[in-house]
Amino acid sequence: MIVFLAKDKLPALLSELNEMLEVVAPVRIGNDTAFATWVGQPIDFEKNPQISPTEFLLPQREVLFKYIQHSGRYVFEEVEPKSKLILGMRPCDLNAVKVLDKIFGTEPFDKLYFRRRRSAILAVLNCSKPEETCFCSHLGAGPECIDGFDLLFTELDSGYLIESGSSVGMLILKEHSDLFQEVKSVYLAEKNERISKAKETLNSRPNLSKDKIMGALETADWESMGNNCLSCGGCTFVCPICHCFNILDLGVPDGERLRCRDSCILSGFSRMAGGVNPRKSAGERIRNWYFDKFQFIPENTGLLGCVGCGRCISVCLASMDRWSLKVPR
């Protein structure tokens, strides 16, 4: 099912959806754009926010359960996730969700992740304006979304084409049909033109395919890269696929168990009891990070651990981008 929504009707659609569930969308916050709960703010589809919307499926900090001591015994309370509609997720981030689904779906099955995942409706936005650091097309992760969405938006000059990709998406379109218009052939032509231009832009950039990157990994100077790296972990904290975490219990005798994001780039992540650290140097940690994305995750899931969103490039204070790896053009 495919419909057309005029741009001035988008707030009305989101307001109606907001009555049933929490709407998350890219909105302006100061001079930047970020995914946040929508409460009437102007939507900003121009820029892909630095923090991925996968944050709402795998938060930086989440309560796994609360524990309460009662008559000498502990009672455990799990926190139920709220239903959400995530609007404006780009195809690269949707592909990141597919990878996370594989990772957390293997044994031991991560029940909390999938409770949050199954309560989320994904309204993806076809990417017609790639960022300067994007290379999603070289890894098969964009700029056009093919499957895996509940709703698919394509921004046009006068409005949005909206396609359903699941029974939930189709139900939403049917229940709010009074806001939509009939799709004209000129709208479909404009969609194809916008996506074609985005592909041309991305394909004109240096080739960063998996084979090219894997070839560079075999000859990389990890020691030199480690000397340049600040070991801040920024690349991992903005990555939509990175999922390292730590577990922390807060409160005695009553409290809560937290899962907090961690980073394999940080020096303490691999340190073991007694101070032994199998990855002491920054170069060894960077090497592990790259091989995790292009070898270890593919071996375990069949999917790449990188979707070419380019966030790690744009956030790096030491300019540790693809040229540090010396990927051939």
pLDDT in tens, 242-288: 999 999 999 988 999 999 999 999 999 988 888 899 999 999 999 99
Checking if the pLDDT of 323 tops 60, the result is no
The structural domains of the chain, with segments of one domain joined by +, span 2-203, 210-325
pTM: 0.93
Q: What pLDDT digit, counting tens, does each position of 23-70 carry?
A: 999 999 888 999 999 999 999 999 999 999 999 999 999 999 999 988
Checking if the pLDDT of 208 tops 90, the result is no
d(CA 126, CA 139): 16
Helices 210-219/282-291 angle, 10° precision: 150
Write b or e for each residue in 173-183: b if 16 or more Cβ atoms lie within 10 A of its Cβ, otherwise e: beebeeebeeb
Predicted pLDDT of residue 253: 87
Q: What pLDDT digit, counting tens, does each position of 96-138 carry?
A: 999 999 999 998 999 999 999 999 999 999 999 999 999 999 9
Strand partners, 259: 62, 247
Q: What pLDDT digit, counting tens, does each position of 68-105 carry?
A: 988 878 888 887 888 999 999 999 999 999 999 999 99
User: Which structure tokens are listed for 222?
Assistant: 């990890």
